[in-house]
Structure formats: structure tokens, C-alpha cells
Amino acid sequence: MTGLVLESVSVGGLHDVSLEVPGGQVVCLSGVSGTGKSRLLRAVADLEPHGGSISLNGAGQRDMPKVQALHEKYSDNPDFVILAMNVRDDNKEMAEYWAEKKYTFPT
């Protein structure tokens, strides 16, 4: 599969997380403080020990240099403030923001 694949990933208090994100797609993790969003992203970036497997475009984490893995998989923007106060509107606002930037995601 082209894209990001998590299979039975366990990190911190998160257990057995499986997810497939096709290349070119954007996914938003949202939730209250302390639910594991940042910890899961650190595992995806190979910055936190974890169980299970994570691959990008068919290559496992251990198959690519850490710098490449960070560039291709991880984007954290804690300073991006959205005031809509609900998940649907927040995600729409974020999608519109990135569409204006005309950012192309690696596939």
C-alpha cells in the first residue's frame, strides 16, 4: 500500500491501534489533553518506543533513515490555534488552511 500503515501499535496507554492512510491524504488526531495524540505521533516518527509495526509506502521504520522518516511522516503544529470549538469546523478550517498553502504531501 502507498501511504502510512499502523498495525497493532501500542505505546503508553494506547493499545492495538491500527490505521491505514492512503498516500496524499491528511488525517487529524483530535482529543482532550492526555489521550495519547502526541505519543502516537512520536511513535509514528520513531521517537518513542512502541509495539506493533509502522510503515510508509511499504518501507518499515527501520528501513529508512530517521531524518527521512521525520520529514515524511510527522507534522505537529501546536501553535496553530483554531477557535471554532468543535471538531468538524476545526478540521474544515485546517483543511482550508493547507489548501491555501498548496502543500503537496509525499505519495
pLDDT tens for residues 41-51? 888 888 888 99
pTM, two decimals, is: 0.62
Grid cell listed for 55: 510503515
Nearest Cα residue to 76 out of 27, 35, 3: 27
3-76: CATH topology is Rossmann fold (3.40.50)
> Would you place residue 77 in the very low, low, confident or very high pLDDT band (cuts 50, 70, 90)?
low
Amino acid at 90: D
pLDDT of residue 106: 56
Residue spans of the domains in the chain: they are: 3-76
